[in-house]
Amino acid sequence: MDKLRGTDKKRLSAVILLLIALPLLLIVVKQRTDNRSRAAAPDQLEAEGGVLGGNAVAKADSLASGGQYVEFSKQTGAAGPRPAPSSLGSYVYPASVSWKPTAGTTYTMPIGANQSAQDNFISSVPNGTENNPSIIVFPAGNTWTRNGNGFQVRYPRAYLIFWGYGAKLNMTTTDFAGSPDRGGGYQSGFMLSDYGPYAATVGPVHHIKILGLEIIGSNPDAASPNARSSLGQEYQAGVTINGWTEDIEIADSHVRDTLGDSINVFGGADYNKAYRYNLHNNLFERNGRSGVILSVGDDAYIENNIIRDSAWASFGSEDAANNQLTIRGMYIRDNLLERDWWTGAQLPGYLPFTAYFSNSYHNRPNALGVWKDFYFERNTYTGRRPGGWGGPGDTVHDTAYIWIGDRYSSASEDIPIDGCYIRDNQFIVPAEARFKTAVMMRGCRSGAVTGNNFSGAPMDIQRSSVTVSGNN
């Protein structure tokens, strides 16, 4: 009897242990299932409208809700890999990858703040560092209005990221006559300048990023034959980069309806100091002047943008101060260019172009600038608006898709150019919108014009030693 009682005790103990272990096992299984099916809370930047395209992979798992869960790969940098080319070029807006910063301290723009409060807030944000930039977040779904000057980002500002996915900056100024800064570009959405407040130039503004903002100008005639702005108004750009600047990036932004250029990179007094700027994956449209003006640039990249409905041209450079236009490594690649206007007699003495790059002032033969390593590659141009100068039957005005060199005809005014490369561009232009000349080139001492589809337009190459082959 005692023996049977001992056996019963063992069985009872086993049953008790099983009853204790079974709930624990169910808890473990439930936690594993929850971890795979529950989405992690988004961080602040993602909540403000940033995108995480290209970094997520769907994984199958029978224990996850719906049979799948999403695995996010590690972010590798503030500006990820460039998009792969598509059939018409690699222009993509916005980018198909994430420009989400991997580090930094976030400061959120106050919603509903007036212009003075906006300026005070940005002034209160400290400069960041290379490993910890200051990130100014414009909350998605909100609009900030500027009447007069835009945001001034001047020396000694550095390591700032303006994060604006889903947000708008609206410039309302149309009358610039009374502005003490008239002509300086201060009415642009952003003015990046080496000039410190009330002080002469003492150093660069550097490591500034403008990401994801929609910047809206005040041009009432945008995308019309009257879009060309008047003198003074033309200084309202989406962003003006002026003077000594280093490491500037503008990406995923939409700039439209400006009275002047969408982007203006101008040397100012420090005309030789615009180092390493990168404009990519933007939409620039409906401007009152040009898409992007590039008067200076060392190691400058303008890639994967869409530029359309420009009053003048998609790209251009202009004579920098005192003739010292300086370009040392400029790469204009993989952009889509559409519907330039070039209408009206507001432009006496100018010729219509898709891209014009002039390298000296008229009647100023002692140019001191340096121009080398200029690349215009893999861009697609689909035609200009019908009518205006250079159209069918116009025997007065000459026209060209691309003008490289001195704007005028005097050889004494040329800055010699070492390295002019116009390669693999597509000019898919209907007959009624074709220009008379494909390329007008002056003063290139080396380079190549190869592999371009000019829709049968001839080239006009003078005083240049370049390889010409494989064009049609």
pTM: 0.77
Whether 194 and 65 map to the same domain: the answer is yes
The answer to whether residue 342 is domain-embedded is: yes
The answer to whether residue 97 is domain-embedded is: yes
The answer to whether residue 409 is domain-embedded is: yes
Whether 236 and 323 map to the same domain: the answer is no
The answer to whether residue 96 is domain-embedded is: yes
Write the pLDDT tens digit of every residue in 395-431. Answer: 555 567 888 876 544 544 556 788 999 999 998 877 7
The answer to whether residue 404 is domain-embedded is: yes
Whether 331 and 411 map to the same domain: the answer is yes
Q: What is the pLDDT of residue 316?
A: 81
SS3 for 372? strand
Phi then psi for residue 35, to 5 deg, are -65, -30
Q: From 253, 273, 289, give the residue that closes a domain.
A: 253
Write the pLDDT tens digit of every residue in 254-310. Answer: 999 998 899 998 765 555 678 899 999 999 999 988 899 888 888 899 999 999 888
Whether 329 and 203 map to the same domain: the answer is no
- Per-residue pLDDT, averaged over 213-231, amounts to 82
Domain count, the chain: 2
Q: Beta strands of 126-253 (E only): which ranges? A: 134-137, 143-146, 151-154, 158-163, 168-171, 190-193, 205-211, 214-216, 239-242, 245-251
**Mean pLDDT taken over the chain:** 73
Whether 320 and 205 map to the same domain: the answer is no
Phi then psi for residue 322, to 5 deg, are 55, 30
- Per-residue pLDDT, averaged over 41-65, amounts to 39
Whether 239 and 334 map to the same domain: the answer is no
The answer to whether residue 440 is domain-embedded is: yes
Q: From 208, 229, 253, give the residue that closes a domain.
A: 253
Percent share of the chain, pLDDT over 70: 60
Q: What is the pLDDT of residue 7?
A: 59
389 compared with 105, residue with greater pLDDT = 105
How far apart CA 192 and CA 185 sit, in angstroms, is 10
Q: From 253, 268, 292, give the residue that closes a domain.
A: 253
Whether 469 and 339 map to the same domain: the answer is yes
Confidence check: pLDDT of 70 > 60: no
Whether 116 and 189 map to the same domain: the answer is yes
Strand pairing report for 56-60 and 68-72: antiparallel
Tell me 198's DSSP state.
T
Whether 443 and 353 map to the same domain: the answer is yes
Whether 233 and 99 map to the same domain: the answer is yes
Phi then psi for residue 37, to 5 deg, are -105, -15
Number of Cα atoms under 13 Å in the Cβ half of residue 309: 18
The answer to whether residue 70 is domain-embedded is: yes
Whether 329 and 466 map to the same domain: the answer is yes
Whether 337 and 240 map to the same domain: the answer is no
C-alpha distances (whole Å) from 218 to each of 170, 180, 285, 392 are 8, 19, 13, 33
87 compared with 357, residue with greater pLDDT = 357
Instruction: Determine the structural domain holding residue 395 and report its residue range.
Output: 312-472
Q: What is the pLDDT of residue 268?
A: 57
pLDDT bin (cut points 50, 70, 90) of residue 101 is confident
Q: What is the pLDDT of residue 355?
A: 75
- Per-residue pLDDT, averaged over 345-360, amounts to 52
pLDDT bin (cut points 50, 70, 90) of residue 102 is confident
Cα R_g (the chain), whole angstroms: 28
Q: How many CB atoms lie within 10 A of CB 196?
A: 15
pLDDT bin (cut points 50, 70, 90) of residue 24 is low
Write the pLDDT tens digit of every residue in 71-98. Answer: 333 333 333 333 333 333 346 677 766 6
56 compared with 225, residue with greater pLDDT = 225
Instruction: Specify the range with the lowest mean pLDDT, choosing from 1-15, 83-97, 105-119, 422-436.
Output: 83-97
Write the pLDDT tens digit of every residue in 182-198. Answer: 445 678 999 998 876 55
SS3 for 157? coil
